[in-house]
Chain A
């Protein structure tokens, strides 16, 4: 086996890979969030943003495929680690409880696989709702482009979809609450002093991302923008 394969198959390597792909996905989410916020700038801002992205051509596909690879690898590692649990403990405890801090077992860390699976399903429907959907056309400064603004406004008129979206974003926040901290620990970027700081920073980051994503559908649904 090559060194890379040995590394990627080891417990440490798998965890580092989970962390690296996770951080990659978080960076994407942050970019995505910034894009979303462009909605508040009106149709022109968000449609131009979307148009500019699409103008990247082959580079966009490189990013998209890279993102897809990260995503699938992250999902696969998550499942594989989760499936290993039963193998490592064939007979479970009759009673199990966490001792509490400094344990990071929480609603967030204990539900990583669940929030992960729901996020996976969401991503599929999400792509279907937006990326693979036929857009109306808007003309801005004489350029024809997808009217993303209209699509967003239309989608978030539905109370069911809005609720669904909000719930998923809460789950995303939960996933990131453990995920971000965990990535730092997995990459070994941790000392005894920075450990609690990173844990708190991860919470704040997860909160900002979740609130950021929830802000848009709520604002649209209640007609705040």
Chain B
């Protein structure tokens, strides 16, 4: 808890619609409380702008506790800002110093077109999921949950991958705009569970192909995705996805 009020200079990306070109606009906030979250500072800025009769800044957000994956800001070139394992909604201003300048940009990737200002369209992720990110089981009366034991090591590993919040920071931070970590996390989660086994070959092929079709780039193993991932998902997911893919294509008919 700190009572010191800070001044923060912001350069925020403003863009009217997907078609138009955007630019950075300067704003200065001279009443930033260190206990504010970054998004609360933007709320505060928007209040001021609206009171001055100006247009507020559009940005995506929802749960504000780091789990829904809505927020998507690149701060000074880093997806979700400087704190490891933290979505930007959980980043607090006490991590900055009085007088700092912060450049705020949206995720940038062909597959994530900008809707307005800092808001982007991430439907491409849904389409990758629709291509195979599931176990094909209808609602009904499946076998008893304990009829299928899963060793704890695999269950824990599957969870680590399943923790993905689908925010897209991996794509945003990747110099190539690759979606490999997102896709790899789902492929690897299901590859570690017996439930995922029957479809595992088909799944990895469909999802990997879909990822390329959506316009995401190749992976060059920069591992920047792991560094910015709020769920701290390891790039081992990508290694596993490649293993799965190679195995699948060598065996699939």
Interface residues, chain A, with chain B CB atoms under 8 Å away:
3, 6-7, 10-16, 81, 84-85, 87-105, 109-110, 112, 178, 181-182, 185-192, 195
Judging by beta carbons under 8 Å apart, are B218 and A87 in contact? no
Question: What interface size band does chain B fall in?
Answer: 35 or more
Residue of B nearest to A184 (CB): B239
B108 at interface, CB cutoff 8 A? yes
Work out how many contacts link A and B, with CB atoms closer than 8 A: 150
* Selected contact of B246 from candidates A16, A85, A92, A98, CB within 8 Å: A16
Known: A99-B227, A104-B221, A195-B236. A94 touches B103 (CB 8 A): yes
14 interchain pairs, CB-CB under 8 A? A13-B246, A85-B175, A94-B11, A96-B77, A97-B78, A98-B78, A99-B228, A103-B226, A104-B221, A105-B175, A105-B222, A109-B222, A188-B240, A191-B239
* Selected contact of B242 from candidates A85, A90, A186, CB within 8 Å: A186
From A12, A90, A99, residue with most partner B Cβ within 10 Å? A12
Judging by beta carbons under 8 Å apart, are B242 and A84 in contact? no
When distances are taken between beta carbons in the complex, the residues of chain A under 8 Å from B77 are 93, 95-97
The interface bits of chain B over 85-114 (1 if a CB of A lies within 8 angstroms of the residue's CB, else 0) are 000000000000000000101001111000
Output the least CB separation between A105 and chain B (Å): 5
Judging by beta carbons under 8 Å apart, are B76 and A95 in contact? yes
Judging by beta carbons under 8 Å apart, are A104 and B76 in contact? no
When distances are taken between beta carbons in the complex, the residues of chain A under 8 Å from B211 are 11
From B234, B238, B239, residue with most partner A Cβ within 10 Å? B239
Judging by beta carbons under 8 Å apart, are B221 and A178 in contact? yes
**In terms of DSSP, what is the predominant structure of the interface of chain B?**
mixed
Output the least CB separation between A7 and chain B (Å): 5
What's the Cα separation between A100 and B228 when bound, in Å?
Answer: 9
Output the least CB separation between B102 and chain A (Å): 10
B177 at interface, CB cutoff 8 A? yes
What's the Cα separation between A144 and B219 when bound, in Å?
Answer: 51
Known: A12-B208, A16-B246. A90 touches B218 (CB 8 A): no
Judging by beta carbons under 8 Å apart, are A192 and B175 in contact? no
What's the Cα separation between A201 and B242 when bound, in Å?
Answer: 22
Interface residues, chain B, with chain A CB atoms under 8 Å away:
11, 13, 24, 74, 76-79, 82, 84, 103, 105, 108-111, 173, 175-178, 180, 208-209, 211-212, 215-224, 226-228, 234-236, 238-246, 249-250, 252
Residue of A nearest to B219 (CB): A15
List 4 extra interface pairs beyond A14-B218, A185-B235, CB under 8 A: A11-B178, A84-B176, A110-B222, A188-B239
Known: A81-B220, A98-B227, A112-B220. A188 touches B105 (CB 8 A): no
Judging by beta carbons under 8 Å apart, are A89 and B221 in contact? no
